[in-house]
Structure 1
Amino acid sequence: MADGVLDPFVDRVQALLTQLDAGQRKALARDISRHLRGSQAKRIRENKNPDGSPYEERKPQPEMRKRKGSLRMFRKIHRTKNLKARASADEASVGFTGFSNQVARVHQYGLRDRVNERGLQHKYPERELLGLTDKDRDFIEETMVKHVDDALNG
């Protein structure tokens, strides 16, 4: 995810966020990270970039033709065991763990990686697994305003 995506909004509410205690900020971060984890997982299952465009299709593979069912990519990477939401009083984050982190990094940035044990390498196309959609940005903004409003008026 690009750094500074929410900077204009955060700058506007920074003074209000400092009025929240650590517990309230952590609750806000937890709400945001849980929602983002769910929306990222849903988008990955649908094989879509944050802008709504489909991922570039994988190269045809002979062994895949034998299988019945979907040829979707990233069939298991979106699961909770691989895609974690983390929150603290200072930040909310969503990211991959373990080997899934390596696979996601290669696809996120379109890097070169080994295909098999023999060392055959391939340059993968860029497929944006993690990123904010307009709906995500709206949710973050609404949630921040709601938490700050509840804290100051409640």
Structure 2
Amino acid sequence: MDDLQSLEEWVSPLLAKLTPKERRKLARTIATALRRRQRERIAHQRNPDGSEFEPRKPKKDQAGFVRRQPMFMKIRQAKYMKTQSDPHSAEVNFMGRVARIARIHQMGLRARVQPGGPSYDYPQRELLGYSEEDQRFIRDMVIDHLTL
């Protein structure tokens, strides 16, 4: 049994006692907190399991200097990383054009570097994911909400 399913089985009877309005509020709170946690993890260049992202290939600019800008600076902004929630679910996902970029990195797919340019096999970098620490975090949030 995977961790997400076990969390769902644990929390379902507790959530059934809440009104739809309370469940929606809790789901929105959880989704927002998870987005913040995902954004921080991406900023630290880490996969959900704690391993580091595979670094990008060095890229030289016109003067021959190697660019060392962190990956995914823009797509981790709330403008692109959206939350959705309703009384039955809470989710964090990427929207718009960056969703394609995120999917390529999330799954380690082959894609063109630029339109009409060469293709490249991108290494897998899990931008969105779920860890045991996230499971404990969600459990604690539910318990805190129910004790209020």
TM-score when normalising by structure 1: 0.86
Identity %: 38
Question: Pick from 45, 52, 61: which aligns with 1:63?
Answer: 61
Q: Which is further off, 135-144 or 106-115?
A: 135-144
Question: What are the Cα deviations for residues 93-135 of structure 1, in whole angstroms up to 9, with x where unaligned?
Answer: 0010111100000000001111122242111000000012333
Give, in angstroms, the shift of residue 63 of structure 1: 1.9
Match of residue 43 from structure 1: 41
Matches within 5 A, 1:1-154: 5-63=3-61, 66=65, 70-150=68-148
Task: Give me the whole-angstrom Cα distance separating, in 2, the residues matched to 1:9 and 1:81.
Answer: 29
Unaligned runs of 5+ in 1: none
RMSD, matched Cα: 1.8
Question: What are the Cα deviations for residues 22-69 of structure 1, in whole angstroms up to 9, with x where unaligned?
Answer: 00100110111010000101111111111221100111222296366x
Q: Which has the higher strand share?
A: 2
Give, in angstroms, the shift of residue 16 of structure 1: 2.1
Unaligned runs of 5+ in 2: none
Number of positions where the alignment pairs a residue of Structure 1 with one of Structure 2: 146
Task: Give me the whole-angstrom Cα distance separating, in 2, the residues matched to 1:14 and 1:117.
Answer: 46
Runs of 4+ in 1 over 6 A off after TM superposition: none
